[in-house]
């Protein structure tokens, strides 16, 4: 599960700026705790958040990779917040220097590990800030662990305990460190897979990497860890052996489940975790009355809100910040992000609804329509092949096929305002900034760059000319020029 050789810290570039508030489960975050605040707390959490993630082969630090639109580190920090308030304990993230001020850590204390010297060294840097009875240590790349798992650790009653998880039968060959216990289920050691014999490799329990240690014991013995002879790193797992050698019992909490403790070391690991999170979200919504026609091909975000009686068809992608209200229908192959879909609205198929968009109740957005930063009024219709950006459409307005709002002048974006019960014909270009009034009409094929008053018909197109018998003459000339008479 958690091989110590994969728990090395490194130096990152801060390449994925974020805001802890928008990723929080409740939408709010606590302020950073003053390290000098007095008063002993019950529990401190130490999150080891410095792994260099080289096996993902990505420029984005591993802990900033996302599951359902939420960075891995935010899953872990938010889980800790579910257990303790700011008054009850601290959340301390041990990080490499270049990410210490990253916004994703804004509601935790960041402690810098100057150089990658292993997990034991990382914890040592957090010890001076501990001011609690108990310390829980966990990893930033284990996002599926829930508060109930941490609570079982805290309720164990022992001074030192950790979680061991059962390895699935089809993953027994994975190089996870094995947790060895005696016949009385007493902890003996953690052995790395490469150093394990065949009997030890057959042990089905792996180290989850989640520990609870009485703070006084942690402070007393953390300095006894010696560097590994091969890597010169300080491994936190060695601390368990030190406890046993000094007569401190180590409790092993065995869990017959693996996936809540699944660590993200590669993009394959990330994909497996994504599948788990997506399935949880799908089940949550289906159990609350949302109809998913093909659940495995609907992708949701951690903060998606969907009312009952909503239907979502196949191959729909819903990104962060989407709310879908009662009775709405999202048809196949549509892509939604940062938008509100109101009651009984219809979207798609093949529609893209972008940021800061509100689709009014009973509005209809059809195939190959893109909408961005727009408010679409009640019962308005944009049924096909249109782009509506930086716009306001009143209720009962109809936008014809091929119509676009020309919102960008090369420097700035401009607004288009269209009133209620207005008809925009097919293949129109509305050059913003522009206002079109209520009960107005714009003729098909028009290029509109002046405001249109209420109840006005606007036409802007070149007059049509019909030249009798001219077509055969033009065709014959083209044939002669090309040398090809077999048209």
Say which CATH number the domain at 389 has.
Answer: 2.160.10.10
CA separation for the pair 362, 345 (Å, rounded): 4
DSSP state of 355: T
The region of weakest confidence among 24-38, 138-152, 190-204 is 24-38
> Under 8 Å CB-to-CB from 446, ≥6 apart: which residues?
425, 428, 429, 458, 459, 460, 461
Domain limits for position 310: 287-458
* pLDDT bracket for residue 58 (50, 70, 90): confident
Q: Would you say residue 271 lies in a domain? A: no
Are residues 305 and 253 located together in one domain of the fold?
Answer: no
423-424/381-393 β-pairing: unpaired
317/249 same-domain check:
no
Active-site option among 16, 102, 125, 384: 384
Specify whether 23 is located in the same domain as 113.
yes
77 pLDDT higher than 50: yes
Q: What domain count does the chain have? A: 2
Residue 473 inside a domain? The answer is no
pLDDT digits over 256-270, tens only?
Answer: 999 999 999 899 999
- What is the model's pLDDT at position 1? 59
Task: Indicate the pLDDT class of residue 28, thresholds 50, 70 and 90.
Answer: very low
pLDDT at 38: 36
200 and 331, same domain (yes or no) = no
Q: What does the mean pLDDT of the chain come to?
A: 89
Q: Is the dihedral of CA 280, 284, 287, 291 positive or negative?
A: negative
Asked whether residue 171 falls in the same domain as residue 257, the answer is: yes
The verdict on whether 384 is a catalytic residue reads yes
State the pLDDT at residue 24: 66
- CATH number of the CATH domain containing 35: 3.90.550.10
Residues 97 and 227 in one domain: yes
Nearest CA to 71 out of 141, 149, 146 is that of 141
How many C-beta atoms lie closer than 10 Å to residue 237's C-beta?
A: 24
Least confident of 57-61, 148-152, 232-236, 481-485: 481-485
Is residue 476 included in any domain, yes or no?
Answer: no
């Amino acid at each position: 599960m958690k091989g110590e050789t994969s728990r090395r810290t490194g130096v990152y570039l801060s390449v994925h700026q974020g805001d802890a508030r928008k990723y929080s489960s409740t939408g709010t975050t606590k302020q950073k705790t003053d390290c000098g605040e007095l008063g002993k707390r019950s529990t401190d959490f130490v999150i080891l958040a410095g792994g260099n993630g080289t096996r993902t082969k990505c420029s984005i630090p591993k802990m900033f990779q996302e599951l359902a639109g939420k960075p891995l580190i935010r899953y872990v920090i938010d889980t800790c917040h579910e257990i303790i308030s700011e008054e009850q304990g601290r959340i301390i993230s041990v990080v490499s220097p270049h990410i210490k001020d990253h916004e994703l850590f804004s509601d935790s204390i960041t402690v810098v590990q100057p150089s990658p010297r292993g997990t034991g060294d990382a914890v040592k840097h957090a010890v001076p800030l501990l001011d609690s009875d108990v310390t829980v240590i966990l990893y930033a790349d284990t996002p599926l662990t829930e508060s109930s798992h941490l609570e079982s650790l805290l309720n164990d009653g022992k001074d030192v305990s950790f979680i061991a998880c059962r390895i699935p039968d089809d993953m027994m060959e994975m190089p996870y460190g094995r947790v060895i216990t005696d016949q009385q289920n007493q902890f003996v050691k953690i052995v790395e897979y490469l150093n394990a014999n065949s009997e030890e490799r057959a042990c089905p329990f792996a180290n989850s990497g989640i520990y609870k240690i009485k703070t006084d014991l942690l402070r007393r013995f953390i300095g006894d860890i010696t560097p590994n002879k091969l890597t010169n790193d300080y491994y936190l797992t060695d601390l368990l052996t030190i406890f046993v050698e000094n007569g401190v019992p180590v409790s092993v909490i065995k869990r017959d489940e693996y996936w809540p403790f699944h660590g993200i070391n590669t993009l394959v690991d990330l994909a497996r975790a994504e599948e788990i999170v997506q399935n949880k979200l799908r089940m949550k919504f289906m159990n609350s009355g949302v109809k998913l026609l093909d659940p495995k091909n609907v992708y949701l975000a951690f903060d998606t809100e969907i009312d009952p009686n909503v239907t979502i068809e196949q191959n729909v992608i819903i990104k962060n910040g989407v709310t879908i209200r009662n009775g709405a229908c999202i048809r196949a192959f549509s892509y939604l992000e940062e938008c509100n879909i109101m009651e009984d609205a219809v979207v798609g198929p093949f529609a893209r609804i972008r940021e800061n968009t509100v689709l009014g109740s009973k509005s209809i957005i059809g195939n190959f329509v893109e909408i961005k930063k727009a408010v679409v009024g009640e019962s308005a219709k944009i049924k096909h092949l249109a782009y509506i950006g930086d716009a306001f459409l009143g209720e009962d307005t109809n936008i014809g096929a091929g119509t676009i709002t020309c919102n960008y002048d090369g420097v700035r974006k401009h607004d288009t305002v269209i009133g209620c019960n207005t008809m925009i014909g097919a293949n129109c270009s509305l050059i913003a900034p522009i206002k079109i009034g209520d009960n107005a009409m714009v003729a098909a094929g028009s290029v509109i760059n002046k405001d249109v008053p209420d109840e006005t018909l606007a036409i802007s197109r070149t007059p049509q000319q019909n030249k009798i018998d001219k077509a055969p003459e033009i065709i014959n000339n083209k044939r002669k020029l090309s040398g090809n008479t077999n048209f």
